[in-house]
Each structure stands twice: as structure tokens, then as C-alpha cells.
Amino acid sequence: MDSNEFFAPARTPSDDTAAPADDAALVSSGDAVDGEISAAESVVKPPKAERTPVWIDLLNPSSDEVKEIEKRFSIEVPTREEMQEIELSSRLYDEDGALFMTVSVLNKANSDEPETTAITFILVKKTLITLRYADPVPFKTFIRRVNRSPSLASSAEAVLFGLLEQIVDRLADIMEQAAADLEGLSNIVFANPDDPAHDQDHRAVLRRIGRAGNLSGKAKDSLLNLHRLGLFLSTQTRLKKDAKTRLKTISRDIVSITEHANFIANKVTFLLDATLGMINLEQNNIIKIFSVAAAAFLPPTLIASIYGMNFKVMPELDWQFGYPLAIGLMVLSAVLPLWYFKRKGWL
């Protein structure tokens, strides 16, 4: 379990401006994440009774921690099973002024088995609560950024939009990398058969195309969830004008990345069809060679079969030049079809 509470930059009664970064407080109620939170523990920690955290990040929380959060904020935290439900009403809803938003976020994108993990954002009063059972890259990156620039966590809405922007940026990077990988695959698929880079059996190419298709599909699923989340937030009157402007920017980015993901999905389909077509061509060439060989050796087989008969009256059997003639006919009957096929370009 790694659960952390983030507080907004401290302010003094005589100063309406945000305090310097050195005055920002970060309280850890669990283990440190990547060893970075411990660096901020030397800062003076305000009593919890005086200040409300702007962000509580629950990573693999225990049942006791969930009950504590429910009691502290008078809410009902969704279970892990409820987070997996796909109904829109189960993922995005308003309950007594608290906004519950569950989205699927792409995780382990650089591995051979990318996955999507459900993450719940709970916006209650002036606090954002994130509930997750995985540690995707956007969260690690945003936590590092908050440790360097505490002003990024000035409010719960700022943390929410900062996390969404980080998730969208990560998806954009993944789509760019996927597009570059597909470009390299395209060069391999359409390479000259004599080129050393040409994959003779296409097994590695098919595996890479399958991985790219799997990755783009999961990315599109995550983008769809983010788009639905953006539509849900746009209907909330509690968001200020600046927040809605920021939300519009995120929504535009989601739309553009979704179009890029659709392009990648089409490219994956094209490369898959092209690879299967190449495999069919190579198999047809092999079958053609066998067919030509069978046609070429059919006449010699016929001649050999005739002279292999056990009839008593076969004049050629007593002829001195019968054997050389039979051998010559078989060779000639094999060479002539091969020459004809070669002239027609079938070989």
C-alpha cells in the first residue's frame, strides 16, 4: 500500500499570494513512492485539523484505509469490482455533491502485455481522491512534478486536470511510438525478398503487428473513457471558467489523439492484410513449383510405366537401342515442359 496526502502551498494570513515552494507541505501516510516523497518530509507538516489535503492518492489501499476515507469525507468509495463495470452510470455519477469518475488508463505500454487499469477520481468538496490498484507512468510523472513544483497542486481541480493532461500526454507519446514502429514494419513487409531484412516466414512481423494492434485498441479504449469523462465534467456548474477552458483544451487533445489512434488501427489492419497476402503469395509460389515439377515428370513417368508392363509381345524389349531410346524419350519429355514453362514465365 502507498497512500499519500498532498497539501496546497501554504499561505500566511498576511499574504494572499502563494508561498514559495519551500513552504509547500507533503504528508505521507504510507510508504514513499520511488523514494521521492521522503525528500519532502523535512518540511514542517501542518496539523490535519487545520488544513484539508487537495489530493489523497490511494494506491492499493487496505480495507481499513478505505473505511477511514469513507468516514472522513462521508462518502461511499466504490469497490474494485464496481470500478470494472462498463455502464456509464456506474462510472460517472454525482452523489450528494461528490463527483465519482472512473476511467481506464493504459498501463505497461512498453511491455509485451499492455493492459488497461481502472482508476477512480473522487472530487469531494476541496479534495481529490484517486483510487487505483496499479501505478501507471502518468501518476509517477505527475507526483515527481508536484514534488518539484508544489504550485501544480494548488487545488483539487488543478490536480485533477494535471493528472488528465499527464495521461493524455502519455497516450500521445505511445501513439507516436506506435506509428514509428509501424513505419519500420511497413519497410520490412514490403522489402525485397533478397534483402537481408526480409522476414522469410513473417512470424516476427505478425507478432509485432499483433502487439501494435493490441496497444492501439487499449489506447482507444482509454481515450474513449477520457472523452466520456470530459463530457461529464463539462456539465458540472462547480467548475470555474479557467477550469472549463483547460478542460476544452484537454478534450481537443483527446479528439486529435483518437484520430491518430484510428489511423494507427487502419495501418495495423493494412499491414496485417499485406503480410497475410505476402504469405499467400509465397505459399502459392511453393505450390506452383510442385505443380510444375509434377507436370514436367508426368510424361517420363508415362513412358517408364509403358515399358514396365509385363506383356510378352513388346518389340522394343528385344531391340538393341530400346533402352537408350526410352531414356532419351524420358529426358526429352521432361526438358520440353520445363522449357515451355520457363518461356511462359511460370518459373
List beta partners, residue 58: 3, 131
Which of 12-16, 299-303, 306-310 has the weakest average pLDDT? 12-16
Q: What nine digits make up the cell of 13?
A: 494570513
List beta partners, residue 335: none
Can you give the pLDDT at residue 200? Answer: 64
Can you give the pLDDT at residue 239? Answer: 85
Can you give the pLDDT at residue 50? Answer: 54
Confidence label for 2 from pLDDT (cuts 50, 70 and 90): low
C-alpha distances (whole Å) from 159 to each of 53, 77, 150, 164 are: 11, 19, 10, 9
Stated as kind and residue range, the H or E segment containing 129 is: strand 127-132
Q: Check pLDDT > 80 for residue 229.
A: yes
Over residues 46-54, mean pLDDT: 65
Q: Confirm if 268 and 213 have CB atoms less than 8 A apart.
A: yes
Neighbours of 156 (CB within 10 A): 24
Which of 2-6, 73-77, 163-167, 205-209 has the weakest average pLDDT? 2-6
Can you give the pLDDT at residue 171? Answer: 95
Q: What nine digits make up the cell of 257?
A: 489523439
Over residues 311-322, mean pLDDT: 78
Which of 173-182, 194-203, 229-238 has the weakest average pLDDT? 194-203
Q: Please tell me the distance from the alpha carbon of residue 77 to that of residue 124, in angstroms, as a whole number.
A: 11
Over residues 29-48, mean pLDDT: 38
List beta partners, residue 57: 4, 130
Q: What nine digits make up the cell of 188?
A: 520490412
Neighbours of 181 (CB within 10 A): 16
Q: What is the reported pTM?
A: 0.75
Can you give the pLDDT at residue 196? Answer: 63
**Burial group, residue 245, by CB count within 10 angstroms (0-12, 13-18, 19+):** exposed
Q: What is the CA radius of gyration of the chain?
A: 35
Give φ, ψ of 248 to 5 degrees. -65, -40
What single letter denotes the amino acid at residue 127? T
Q: Please tell me the distance from the alpha carbon of residue 53 to that of residue 27, in angstroms, as a whole number.
A: 9
Q: Check pLDDT > 70 for residue 324.
A: yes
Q: Confirm if 43 and 27 have CB atoms less than 8 A apart.
A: no
Q: Confirm if 29 and 40 have CB atoms less than 8 A apart.
A: no
Question: CA angle, 33 as apex, 123 and 62 as ends, to 5°?
Answer: 60
Over residues 232-257, mean pLDDT: 91
Over residues 56-69, mean pLDDT: 93
140-157 confidence digits (pLDDT tens) = 999 999 999 999 999 999
Mean pLDDT of the chain, nearest integer: 83
DSSP state of 136: -
Nearest to 18 by CA among 9, 7, 29: 9
Cell 456506474 locates to: 90
Can you give the pLDDT at residue 155? Answer: 92
Confidence label for 75 from pLDDT (cuts 50, 70 and 90): very high
In DSSP notation, 301-313 reads HHHHHHTT---S-
Confidence label for 94 from pLDDT (cuts 50, 70 and 90): very high
262-274 confidence digits (pLDDT tens) = 999 999 999 999 9
SS3 content of the chain, % helix, strand, coil (to 5): 60, 10, 30
DSSP state of 201: S
Q: Check pLDDT > 80 for residue 13.
A: no
Chain centre to alpha carbon of residue 340: 53
Stated as kind and residue range, the H or E segment containing 68 is: helix 63-73
